[in-house]
């Protein structure tokens, strides 16, 4: 009878809910049999406990049902089984430890990512300059002009915001330049507004008016109006020039060859990114879980979607080059390249959110997961400044990497025509790198300014405390790059007729560059802390009469001098190339090696700046939110960091050299040998 009753009521589940040992404890052994003499009364009681709505039911039975529900054991719903008994043991990577292997994987991934994000930005422009102006290409040029105008407008707007102090300068530059380019490009497409001066005027007026309409809270002021008008003029002028420029196949070839290298590098970007993720999952599993929980939509939807789309579009862009050219659909290929750039920049901005959360999490900290949304955790105080800095930095990096490619191919080539071409490619790579590098100090300034406004402790730690010597090395690298770029322009001008007339002024510029660079990396004290610690010589400071060299006013003046002299020398260089005959392929033997040196220095500088930014969190994974309690939480010494970064840079440099050889040199050599073999074969005899 009892077994049948148990089956009717639900077997083990019924016993768990009201019967068995649990019920016996409540009812009490022998009393159970006395109180419930038959199955009918037992079922009635269980029915009342379950629903509490039987007629004649007492309040006591309802309370008993609630207690039973509260005491019901639901642990089986979350019980993972025997695996819960296993404790995760800490793991340390053999030889170098967890932090250094994470450091290595992350930095290698960022370097490859910087290349595949930086190079496509101007590869598309090079492709446009090398394309015949068919109707499809002219349509695509409208979109490419707007894309280029957005980049230029943001840079000019930031410079206006920093130097002049224009509020919302970035937005004025963005809207004015982009709309000026859009309107002028649209009119140029229909062969209207062909005159350059008219294009500049229309772009300035239309872009300026629309900028004032679109900028929130805009009020008419002289400096705002000038900035908006000038950006509109730039957008209109560039659009007119690009739309009506004569196609040059050298640009097409340059873009195609760089794209081949990008295809190789994309695979290494994915591989190094996977290595970084696996290392983080093992070495810092708790922290990576916390970070993913902070961005569920980004990591589950946003990042995978952008990554997959970028991968698809990138391979379409690489492998559709020749087919679309043959089908006379070049415009579609250009549009594909623009879409690739938009996806890449979106991916960059999305991943800068978690990066800046670690350094400047939004305040108050206790509201990160309560009142704040995921967007609040992305749009931190330093999110947009880091986006600006990486955008310009990646463009500079891409330009100097093109210089490395040109230098290698120039040195590997024996054909005079090939050497002429790669001499020209080196000129283009250096020009792009230098022009984009000029506003780079302004991007760094706005990033550091936001850090100081967020928490001056971080700024002081970087500029005056533990990382002050790291900043000294950074200044040395930046000064070296500016000096090397000017030396390259000097040796390049020696192969240009009548360029010697600029040499006296350039010699004076070299003296100013050396002085400015020396001021930039001159510290106030030569020990690496705010105050001297045991073992440090407290007398290692600048004399009082030279202390002004360490002030920010002096540093900013030195940076301005470096940028100004470089810009003036570049203007001399441009005038010389347009007024004198250039003997391509006859560059001074130092030229290619200077290009390689500048590229290597830029790789080193990017890696070093990443070290400074990451170490500024001190002993926190997320500043003042998630503390680093691992044995490797200490800040490494300058020497240790320098040696390790150099190892990363050499690894990337060697891999890139192999990629350039496999992607460009080897196919050319193989093709040349095949042609030689065909030429050596005897002519086929004619049958009689």
* pLDDT tens profile 410-442: 999 989 999 999 999 999 999 999 888 888 888
Average pLDDT over residues 233-258: 94
Average pLDDT over residues 530-542: 79
pLDDT at 77: 75
Provide the sign of the torsion angle of the four alpha carbons 464, 466, 467, 470, taken in this order: positive
pLDDT at 67: 57
- What is the rounded (10 degree) CA torsion for 627, 630, 634, 637? -140
Whether residue 407 contacts residue 593, with contact meaning beta carbons closer than 8 Å, is answered with: yes
Provide the sign of the torsion angle of the four alpha carbons 346, 347, 350, 353, taken in this order: negative
pLDDT bucket at 408, cuts 50 / 70 / 90: very high
Q: Poorest-confidence range of 109-123, 269-283, 516-530, 600-614?
A: 516-530
Distances, alpha carbon 496 to alpha carbons 504, 550, 586, 591, in Å? 16, 40, 10, 14
In whole numbers, what is the pLDDT of the chain averaged over residues? 85
Q: Poorest-confidence range of 401-405, 501-505, 519-523, 562-566?
A: 519-523
* pLDDT tens profile 124-179: 999 999 999 999 999 999 999 999 999 999 989 988 887 788 888 889 999 999 99
The closest of 427, 577, 575, 410 to 496, measured between CA atoms, is: 577
Helix, strand and coil in the chain, % to nearest 5: 75, 0, 20
Beta pairing, strands 620-622 & 626-627 = antiparallel
* pLDDT tens profile 200-229: 999 999 999 999 999 887 677 888 899 999
Residue 550 in this model has a pLDDT that exceeds 70: yes
Q: Which H/E stretch holds residue 654?
A: helix 638-660
pLDDT bucket at 463, cuts 50 / 70 / 90: confident
* pLDDT tens profile 332-368: 999 999 999 999 999 999 999 999 999 999 999 999 9
288: exposed, middle or buried (Cβ count in 10 Å: 0-12, 13-18, 19+) = middle
In angstroms, rounded to a whole number, what is the distance separating the alpha carbons of residues 216 and 220? 12
Residue 526 in this model has a pLDDT that exceeds 90: no
Average pLDDT over residues 17-38: 40
The closest of 375, 346, 397, 338 to 110, measured between CA atoms, is: 397
- According to DSSP, residue 541 is labeled B
Average pLDDT over residues 316-341: 94
């Amino acid at each position: 009878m009892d077994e049948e009753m148990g089956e009717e009521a639900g077997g083990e589940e019924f016993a768990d809910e009201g019967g068995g040992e649990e019920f016996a404890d409540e009812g009490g052994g022998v009393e159970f049999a006395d109180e419930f003499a038959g199955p009918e009364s037992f079922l009635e009681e269980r029915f009342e406990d379950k629903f509490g709505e039987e007629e004649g039911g007492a309040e006591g039975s309802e309370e008993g049902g609630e207690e039973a529900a509260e005491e019901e054991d639901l642990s089986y719903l979350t019980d993972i089984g025997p695996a819960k008994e296993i404790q995760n043991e800490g793991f340390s990577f053999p030889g170098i430890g967890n932090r250094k292997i994470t450091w290595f994987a992350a930095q290698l991934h960022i370097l490859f990512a910087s290349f595949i994000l930086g190079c496509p930005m101007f590869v598309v422009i090079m492709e446009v300059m090398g394309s015949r102006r068919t109707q499809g290409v002219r349509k695509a040029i409208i979109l490419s002009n707007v894309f280029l105008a957005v980049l230029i407008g943001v840079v000019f707007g930031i410079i206006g915001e920093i130097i002049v102090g224009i509020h919302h300068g970035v937005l004025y530059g963005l809207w004015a330049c982009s709309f000026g380019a859009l309107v002028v490009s649209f009119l140029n497409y229909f062969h209207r507004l062909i005159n350059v001066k008219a294009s500049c005027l229309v772009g300035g007026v239309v872009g300026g008016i629309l900028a004032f309409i679109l900028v929130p809270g805009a009020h008419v002021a002289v400096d705002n109006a000038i900035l908006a008008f000038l950006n509109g003029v730039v957008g209109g002028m560039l659009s007119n020039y690009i739309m009506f420029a004569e196609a040059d196949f050298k640009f097409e070839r340059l873009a195609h060859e760089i794209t081949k290298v990008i295809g190789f590098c994309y695979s290494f970007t994915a591989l190094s990114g996977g290595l970084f993720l696996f290392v983080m999952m093992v070495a810092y599993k708790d922290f990576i879980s916390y970070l993913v929980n902070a961005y569920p939509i980004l990591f589950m939807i946003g990042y995978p979607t952008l990554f997959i789309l970028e991968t698809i579009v990138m391979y379409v862009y690489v492998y559709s080059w020749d087919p679309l050219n043959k089908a006379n659909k070049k415009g579609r290929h250009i549009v594909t390249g623009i879409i690739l750039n938009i996806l890449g920049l979106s991916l960059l901005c999305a991943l800068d959110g978690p990066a800046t959360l670690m350094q400047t999490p939004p305040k108050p900290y206790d509201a990160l997961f309560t009142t704040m949304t995921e967007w609040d955790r992305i749009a931190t105080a330093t999110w947009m400044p880091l986006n600006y800095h990486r955008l310009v930095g990646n463009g500079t990096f891409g330009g100097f990497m093109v210089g490395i490619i040109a230098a290698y191919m120039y040195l590997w080539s024996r054909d005079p025509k090939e050497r002429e071409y790669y001499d020209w490619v080196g000129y283009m790579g250096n020009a792009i790198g230098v022009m984009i590098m000029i506003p780079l100090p302004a991007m760094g300034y706005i990033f550091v300014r936001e850090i100081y406004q967020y928490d001056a402790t971080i700024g002081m730690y970087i500029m005056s405390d533990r990382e002050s010597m790291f900043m000294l090395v950074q200044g040395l690298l930046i000064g070296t790059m500016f000096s090397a770029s000017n030396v390259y322009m000097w040796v390049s001008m020696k192969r240009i007729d009548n360029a010697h007339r600029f040499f006296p002024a350039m010699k004076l510029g070299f003296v100013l560059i050396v002085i400015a660079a020396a001021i930039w990396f001159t510290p106030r004290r030569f020990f690496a802390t705010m105050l001297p610690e045991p073992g440090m010589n407290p007398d290692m400071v600048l004399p009082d009469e030279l202390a002004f060299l360490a002030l920010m006013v002096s540093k900013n003046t030195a940076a301005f001098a470096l940028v100004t002299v470089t810009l003036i020398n570049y203007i001399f260089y441009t005038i010389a190339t347009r007024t004198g005959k250039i003997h391509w392929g006859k560059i001074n033997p130092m030229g290619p090696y200077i290009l390689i040196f500048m590229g290597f220095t830029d790789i080193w500088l990017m890696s070093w700046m990443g070290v400074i930014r990451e170490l500024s969190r001190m002993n926190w994974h997320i500043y003042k939110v998630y503390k680093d309690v691992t044995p490797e939480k200490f800040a490494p010494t300058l020497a240790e960091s320098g040696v390790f970064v150099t190892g990363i840079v050499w690894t990337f440099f060697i891999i890139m050299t192999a990629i350039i050889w496999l992607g460009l040199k080897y196919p050319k050599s193989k093709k040349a040998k095949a042609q030689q073999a065909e030429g050596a074969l005897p002519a086929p005899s004619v049958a009689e």
